[in-house]
Amino acid sequence: MSLQLDAVVTEIRSLLDRPAEPRPERAIVERTLTDGYAYALGLEAERLRAERRLRGLPADGVSEREELERRTAATRQELADLRALLSTLRAHALD
């Protein structure tokens, strides 16, 4: 996990770990959601670039292919985890 992703996840978790009352300020939640979704878009772009590169690799590029496949899988998982946290935050803090 990158330091930036770690910071986004930490901020989301800190809001989720707060007691239900008083609710966090809406502006704080919205900023955190915005930051999180912006980071998710960056992860999505990274995943798409890696997948595009994988399709363009020659068959003999095995070690590079394995590394790209590993990075793509890790990015997919980070993205899924981040989206789940963002969804939970949105449901708990804004509804």
What residues have CB less than 8 Å from 81, skipping those under 6 apart? 9
In the prediction, which pLDDT does 61 show?
A: 65
**pLDDT single digits (tens) 32-67:** 999 999 999 999 999 999 999 888 887 776 788 888
Q: Quote the tokens at residue 86.
A: 């963002």
**Length in residues, the chain:** 95
pLDDT of residue 35: 94
pLDDT of residue 95: 67
Reported pTM: 0.84
pLDDT digits 0-9 by tens, 68-77:
899 999 999 9
Cα gap 48→69, rounded to integer Å: 12
Q: What is the pLDDT of residue 18?
A: 87
Work out the angle at residue 66's Cα, subtended by the Cα atoms of residues 65 and 72, and round it to the nearest 5 degrees.
Answer: 85
